Amino acid sequence: MKIALCTMLSLFMLIHATIPAHALSSRVGRGDKITTFSDISTTDSTIDRSICQNRYGKVFLTKDHPATIEGEQLVTTSEGQKIELIYQGGHIGNGIYSIENEYKFTSPNNENGKSVDLQLAATGFIGGGRASGVFSDGTCTGNVTIELITPDNSKKTSPKHNTDPITKQ
Amino acid sequence: MKKLLCAAASLGAIAYISSTALADDHSLGSDNETVTFSNLTLADGTPDDGICAKRYGTGYKTADHPDTSSPDAQKTTAEGHDIIISSTGGTIGDGILSIENEYEIIFPNDEHKETIDVKMFATGLIGSGTASGVFSDGMCRGKVTIQSAQQ
């Protein structure tokens, strides 16, 4: 049974590698998003909590930004974080989706511009405009919510907005 | 999340939520859990016409199948569900996990004893004992909370 499951998982990975399902936009929805971290704690009680507060204490927006366009791999936020998608996983189907992504996350506060690997696992309803789940960077963990604040309907109304990054390159 | 743990995934990852020690993972497949559903709608988001409330209005608490020769992947519930865990998946990160499981469920109030394929995606903090997320059977969708009975 284990072997079968592993085969299945690898198949899923393959499917995800071939279908151009793009990170958050195709799941949470296209448009500006607000990201909120909550219940922030440290993975180890010896770690100074203020590190995590500095990194994740502030809500940030990915607004008027290429992040609102499907396929974008690198975003900066209203608070100056740099977020680069380095791994993408999860599933979509039957009105629901899961996200299992990993990012190179650079916080604007201190730490000399050093980045951390930020793991994000979240779920949501297709069309619901909101994903919630958990995050970890190995030092800090907690809950996370990503919410679409300005649904981008221009796809339907204006064909010229269809600027697929693939055709732009 | 590059660490896609096949071994862990095949064990029904819920147990990891209450077990930070991965050492006892051999017994984890048989763990039981309390499952509750909320925010029920049809799978496309339109209001429930009653079928979803009938299926998912009450959650369930799994128990080992009375047939002792039955594999761990088969469960029964106090409410009368018949459940086969048809596939398990998910990922374990640094202190967090995701669950992507699929079940074949016969609901207790279904006179036709129809088997329904139910997908559940949930996430949680390791050690919290709870994962929450979403489920869908193609007809109905909603939120789901899975609580490990191991706590």
pLDDT confidence of residue B107: 95
The confidence score (pLDDT) of residue A23 equals 54
Start-to-end CA span in chain A (Å): 44
Query: What is the per-residue pLDDT for A2?
Result: 43
Q: Considering only CA atoms, which of A51, A24, A32, A15 is closest in space to residue A140?
A: A51
pLDDT recorded at residue B117: 97
- Does A135 score more than 90 pLDDT? yes
| pLDDT for residue A161 | 39
**Which of B2, B89, B95 has its CB closest to that of A141?**
B95
The partner residues of B39 in beta bridges, in order of sequence, read none
Interface test with B, best of A8, A11, A40, A134 (most B CBs within 10 A): A134
Q: What is the pTM of this model?
A: 0.77
Helix (H) or strand (E) holding B104: strand B96-106
* Residue ranges of B 1-20 with Cβ closer than 8 A to chain A: 1-2, 4, 6-7, 9-10
Provide the shortest C-alpha distance from residue B132 to chain A (in Å): 8
Question: Using 50, 70 and 90 to split pLDDT, how confident is the model at A14?
Answer: very low
How far apart, in whole angstroms, are the C-alpha atoms of residue A151 and residue A31?
5
Q: Could you tell me if A70 lies within 8 Å of chain B, comparing CB atoms? A: no
pLDDT of residue A18: 36
A70, A116, A138 from A106: Cα distances, Å: 21, 6, 14
- The reported pLDDT for the residue numbered A32 is 80
Rounded average pLDDT per 10-residue block, chain B, 151 residues: 38 47 37 91 95 93 78 83 90 90 93 95 92 96 89 49
Which of the given ranges, A50-59, A62-71, B131-140, has the highest pLDDT on average? B131-140
DSSP secondary structure of A88-139: EE--EETTEEEEEEEEEEE-SSSGGG-EEEEEEEEEEETTS-EEEEEEE-SS
- Does A167 or A137 have the greater pLDDT score? A137
Query: What does the pLDDT read at residue B98?
Result: 92
Count of C-beta atoms within a 10 Å radius of residue B46 = 8
What does the pLDDT look like over A15-28, one tens digit per residue?
443 333 445 666 78
Q: What is the mean pLDDT of chain A?
A: 73
A10: pLDDT strictly greater than 50: no
Domains of chain B, by residue range, sit at: 6-148
Contact B45 A128 (CB under 8 A): yes
With CB atoms and an 8 Å threshold, state whether A121 touches B97. yes
Residues with Cβ within 8 Å of residue A110, at least 6 apart in sequence: A54
pLDDT of residue A152: 53
Tell me what pLDDT residue A24 has.
66
Confidence of residue A151 (pLDDT cuts 50, 70, 90): low
Predicted pLDDT of residue A158: 38
Residue of A nearest to B71 (CA): A1
